[in-house]
Chain A
Amino acid sequence: MKATRAAGGLAAAIGLLAIAVVFGLLAGGVHLSPADLVAGVGPAGETARLVASLRAPRVALSALVGCCLAVAGAALQALLKNPLADPFLLGISGGAATGAAFAALAGLSPLVSPAAAFAGAVASSVAVAALARRGGRLDLQRLLLAGLIANAFFSAILLAVFSVASGQTARTMLFWMMGSLADATPGKALALAPYGAAGFTVLLAFAGRLNLFAVGEENAAALGVDVESSKRIIFLASSLLTGAAVAFAGIIGFVGLLVPHAARAVVGNDQRALLPVSAIAGAALLVAADAVSRSAFAPAELPVGAVTAAIGAPVFAWLLLRNP
């Protein structure tokens, strides 16, 4: 019964992703119809294909970023036994954005940006963990508070640079702060994929341990898990996913918080099912959110983070009301 539920959840997530991808290819400043895509021949079909080929990389990048953020969120929630854990709330996104932003300001190649973001994410994780350390052990309650502090700190840095900067620099800072998928290229999507795959593979290998952490850290220790080293690895893998996502799309909140909740409501909290379903559902959510961001007030674009929050908040409220 449980396996059926997991398979059903996976199928539903794939269905949602397929719908989101079609929507993502058709929606935008120039609205296309499915028929335009299928027609192919003639000027209308040609144009449609041209537009879609411009949109395809953006859809692919959105999918990968959504995937990374949702998986990182799911893993952190289980690790910290806290449904409010999220790469953004723990300050990992902020550290990643600051790292990537400074690399960009220093004029380094965009290819360095994932490494800089990962470094920022790890630096933030280490600082947050050091703040949360009490008596040689990581105190999980303090961790969330420390994340809050780190988050405020990185926001302040980004905001300060934004305020005194002008022109291109200001736009760059705005990109990291608000998150955007507008600069997607096939190269960026290809560059993000291996980071996503690596982080996901590690976390999936730790799914059994994460299930024990989700009941409690003491629970995991008593059942034979090397708690400290496992925590480090899970944190590093989550930082890698977050850093890579932020490097290519800036800070986008709510995906890591919301998607695991929705997935959990469908497939339960077994991480072996939850991580893959979150990955696909996260991709679907961000592809759809990005499509809405560029079509709702076309030709103007909304920040995609505003869309994820606008979708996320009501769904989150509904989840809260449903599971008191």
Chain B
Amino acid sequence: MSALLEARGLSAAYGATPALDGLDAAIGRGELVALLGENGSGKSTFLKVIARIVPVGGGELSLEGRPLAGFPRRATARRIAYLPQSTELVFPIRCLDLVLQGRAPHARGFSADSAEDRDRALAAMRACDVEALAERDASALSGGETRRIFLARALAQEAEIWLLDEPTSGLDPRHRLEFLEVIARAHAERETTVLLVTHEIDLAGEIADRVVLLRAGRALAEGSPGETLTPDRLREAFGVESRIVMDDRGRRRVVPYAPSR
């Protein structure tokens, strides 16, 4: 099977500061891949390069075997949705308008507000339990509510690839679980390909088809959660000692207990 997204020797930098340094990774169609690694290992940058926010500095990044940069920007924006780690809203914006921005790559002049666009946006908001916020000002919402608005936006974008940067951080337990349900449903029903950056090791173990461990801008290891989320690998990736325990439902749990010396 040829990969949907493939990075070969991919590098990227913010000015003189390298963030990706020869990353190799392949993501198959319909896969849910978790990206794990310590702070600064390049996880978020990888998502930003795929979202075409950060340019490719070297190496190759291809979509269906063709260089991503060769596609018109709007065409890839229709196929790839990006959920930022956090967004500070400076200006007031109605939640519905923020969700409608997900329709922008589909619309003339980047202004989407046809009746059809509105219907899709509202349906997406319903699915994320934020329909009641439609007329509210998004810049006055809590961080968790804003994340859910952005998830609704990704849904409204109807993209086949989702790039989620720490989607569950800052959510209360109930909304975290609902959030994961929306992701799981999109993955199962629409065969959405998901790249998930997270620091929740157990979450990756639970929902990911595959895990890529990053360190210093390169892939340290990749494979099934069972293969990658081992004490040895985690020591290399995070510099922590950990043990594996089974919870009362027989699920594998990783418990980091001390920094490696």
Contacts and interface: CB of A to CB of B under 8 A. Distances in A.
Interface stretch (A11-19, A202-210, A285-293, A298-306): A202-210
Interface string A220-248: 01111110000000000000000000000
Given A208-B104, A224-B73, 17 more contacts: A135-B13, A135-B17, A136-B15, A207-B111, A208-B110, A209-B109, A211-B101, A211-B104, A212-B104, A212-B110, A218-B84, A219-B87, A223-B77, A223-B101, A224-B75, A269-B92, A270-B97
Given A208-B111, A209-B110, A211-B111, A223 B91 contact: no
B110 A211 contact: yes
A45 interface: no
A214 B101 CA distance: 11
A31 B88 CA distance: 51
Interface of A: 1-2, 77-78, 81-83, 134-136, 205, 207-209, 211-212, 214-216, 218-219, 221-226, 264, 268-270, 272
A73 to B, nearest CB: 14
A83 B90 contact: yes
- Interface SS majority for chain B: mixed
A214 to B, nearest CB: 5
Contacts of B92: 264, 268-269
A216 B53 CA distance: 11
B136 interface: no
Contacts of B244: none
11 contacts: A2-B94, A81-B91, A83-B90, A135-B16, A208-B110, A209-B109, A218-B51, A218-B53, A222-B53, A223-B104, A225-B73
Interface string B139-175: 0000000000000000000000000000000000000
Nearest to A139: B15
B98 A215 contact: yes
B105 interface: yes
B101 A224 contact: no
Nearest to B92: A269
Contact of B90 (A81, A209, A222, A272): A81
A209 B101 CA distance: 10
Nearest to B55: A136
B48 interface: yes
Contacts, number: 94
Contacts of A1: 135
A222 B77 contact: yes
A272 B111 contact: yes
B107 interface: yes
Contacts of A82: 90
Interface string B105-118: 10101110000000
Contacts of A134: 15
A237 to B, nearest CB: 15
A130 B246 CA distance: 57
Interface residues on B, range: 35 or more
Contacts of A215: 87, 89, 93, 98, 101
Given A134-B15, A223-B77, A208 B53 contact: no
A219 B98 CA distance: 11
A224 B90 contact: no
A212 B101 contact: yes
Contacts of B192: none
Contacts of A208: 104, 107, 109-111
A209 B104 CA distance: 9
A90 to B, nearest CB: 17
B55 to A, nearest CB: 8
B90 A135 contact: no
B110 A221 contact: no
Of the listed residues B16, B80, B105, the one surrounded by the most CB atoms of chain A closer than 10 A to its CB is: B105
Contacts of A81: 90-91
Of the listed residues A82, A212, A223, A264, the one surrounded by the most CB atoms of chain B closer than 10 A to its CB is: A223
A25 B92 CA distance: 37
A34 to B, nearest CB: 39
B65 to A, nearest CB: 21
Contact of A223 (B16, B94, B105): B105
A154 to B, nearest CB: 27
B90 A221 contact: no
Contacts of B84: 216, 218-219, 222
B251 to A, nearest CB: 34
A221 B76 CA distance: 11
Contacts of A222: 51-53, 77, 80-82, 84
Given A135-B16, A269-B91, A221 B51 contact: yes
Contacts of A264: 91-92
Given A212-B104, A218-B53, A224 B91 contact: no
